[in-house]
Amino acid sequence: MRRTRFFLTAALAAALVTAVTTGATPTSANTKATPTATPHNDTVPVAGTFAYPQLGDHDPGVVRGVINAVVRIPHGTAVFYSLGSAQTGTAVNTGIMPTMSLDEPYSIWKFPAWSVGVLDPQGLNVYRPLVASEHGCLCSGAPDLTANSTTAFRVGWAVLPPLPKGLTRVTVDIAGGIQVPDVPVTSSMPAPTSREAAPLLGHGWPRLPSASAIESADRKQATLPVAENTSTATQSVSAQKKDVSVALNADVLFAFNKATLSPAASSTIASLAKRINADAAGAVTIVGYTDSTGDASYNQALSQQRAAAVLAALKPLVTNTRVTLTASGKGEEDPVATNDTDAGRALNRRVTVAFSKADR
């Protein structure tokens, strides 16, 4: 009996200790959790760590951070993270968390969407903070995170679109290109909830927007199709869930300044035709490009001739009746690499073949 009581006591204590150390409530996600006035939590979940140089500073300090949790919530996904810097002084007040543009790179101050994302490598999507208005997202703000960040971690948050069912692990992309892999997706909210927008670590967790605010936010801009990118000596392939773009290496297909396909091109063209026959539907768009060397009008004509040569070679091999092939040239436009180096120019000399995958 004494032994039984001992094990019962141990089991009960174990349950309590486990509950405390995991820092999670047994309930499912609840965005309406009542904030605690003076919350306190001794333990915190840690899914991954990261560090990065502070932005916009010639002598940058280091920001350290932790991904605490990725949690399924009604109509969305919450990401909790903690940030701070050991650097003292005013420099820490700039750039502790980079902003992110919704349009072009390096117009980064236009939209204060904090740089938090989740990669679904199976579904080939990246999920970013939901867009609540023209100038804001459902995520922590800069002043909230920066306050007293030299002395303690602040807990930040972002609400993303709902993740696909069955997705149990994700890669979190944070702070302008730092990836934390294999972060588990949970349905348990960390507790307790704080009244503060970005509480100090150990003083509860940020209160999230209401379920209705999350539901009404713009998901479209927060969901970005992702491409897998591979390359060989003859081609580079960029494949999204639906769309495929194959950039054929013009140096393999053609002699310098020529638009006649070389003998070495035949196997590359045959392989591409096989792929189009198996996967494609609709328009197959063939576009030629050159580097910036030489006359622009000459390059324009050369790019058109090269695209036409690829079309002529592909046509007899493509037996897929669901596709139509078109060819055009863009000359020096849309370079994919620098034209200041040999390697960059080689990447720019290409013929791209783009198509959509057939619905299965």
Q: Which residues from 274-293 bind another protein, rule CB under 8 A? A: none
Q: How many other C-beta atoms can be found within 10 angstroms of the C-beta atom of residue 321? A: 7
CB 248 within 8 A of CB 272: yes
Query: Binders of another protein among 288-347, rule CB under 8 A?
Result: 334-341, 343-344, 347
Query: Binders of another protein among 11-70, rule CB under 8 A?
Result: 11-14, 16-18, 21-23, 41-49, 51-53, 55, 57-62, 64, 66
> d(Cα 226, Cα 238) in Å, to the nearest integer?
9
Under the criterion CB under 8 A, does residue 201 sit at the interface with another protein?
yes
Q: Using the rule CB under 8 A, which residue among 159, 161, 173, 254 binds another protein? A: 173
| The residue type at 102 | L
> d(Cα 17, Cα 156) in Å, to the nearest integer?
26
Q: Looking at beta carbons only, is 44 or 213 nearer to another protein?
A: 44
Q: Looking at beta carbons only, is 71 or 313 nearer to another protein?
A: 71
Closest CA to 71 of 187, 213, 172, 194: 187
- Please, what is the minimum distance in Å from the beta carbon of residue 315 to another protein? 26
Closest CA to 137 of 114, 155, 120: 114
The region of 158-166, 178-186, 259-267, 299-307 touching another protein under the rule CB under 8 A is 178-186
**Torsion 314-315-321-326 (CA) sign:** positive
Q: Looking at beta carbons only, is 167 or 308 nearer to another protein?
A: 167
Q: Looking at beta carbons only, is 3 or 360 nearer to another protein?
A: 3
- Please, what is the minimum distance in Å from the beta carbon of residue 273 to another protein? 20
Characterize the bridge pairing of strands 116-120 and 235-239.
unpaired
Q: Using the rule CB under 8 A, which residue among 152, 191, 197, 281 binds another protein? A: 152
